[in-house]
Structure 1
Amino acid sequence: MDGTITCPSCGHTRKEQMPTTTCLFFYECRGCGIMLKPEPGDCCIFCSYGTVWCLSRRSETSK
């Protein structure tokens, strides 16, 4: 599954493939080089800055 990550610092967007078996904790913005980390309460960068939640969060909300 793909999701678009938006950098909160520079606004750069990039479509990335979401891992299916792990959470992505760190992501380097291709626009400004800042290292993105999940916001407090989020498990990964897709949940914080992506257009779609990661698979583990989606399965939690479906319970």
Structure 2
Amino acid sequence: MKNIVTKSKIKCPYCGYEKEEEMPIDACVHFYECNSCGKILKPKEGECCVFCSYGDVKCPPKQIEEKPPKSPKGGL
């Protein structure tokens, strides 16, 4: 069973600054302010949050969604 990763290194697309941040387990983060240049990051079109768009790890809700289904026990 895959463990849920709760930290992601988010990289600002404007200045290239990277920072490891804690991600909420049960929510998507829609806005993030870069600690270096101050720009507000928003998710790319089609992405649920800034971690899915600019992080090195997708957000926990997406990780849970992408888990493979459990195999049935007992053959039925």
TM category (shorter chain) comes to: over 0.9
Q: Which moved more, 1:52-61 or 1:42-51?
A: 52-61
TM-score by length of 2: 0.77
Task: Give the Å deviation of 1:56.
Answer: 1.5
Counterpart in the other structure of 1:17: 22
Instruction: Give every structure 1 segment of 4 or more consecutive aligned residues whose post-TM-superposition deviation is greater than 6 Å.
Output: none
Alignment gaps of 5+ in structure 1: none
Equivalent residues, number: 63
Structure possessing the higher radius of gyration over alpha carbons:
2
Counterpart CA distance in 1 for 2:65 and 2:13 is 25
AA aligned to 1:46 is F
AA aligned to 2:60 is L
Alignment gaps of 5+ in structure 2: 1-5, 69-76
Fraction of identical pairs, as percent: 46
1:42 aligns with 2:32: no
Q: Which of 2, 12, 34 is the matching residue for 1:7?
A: 12
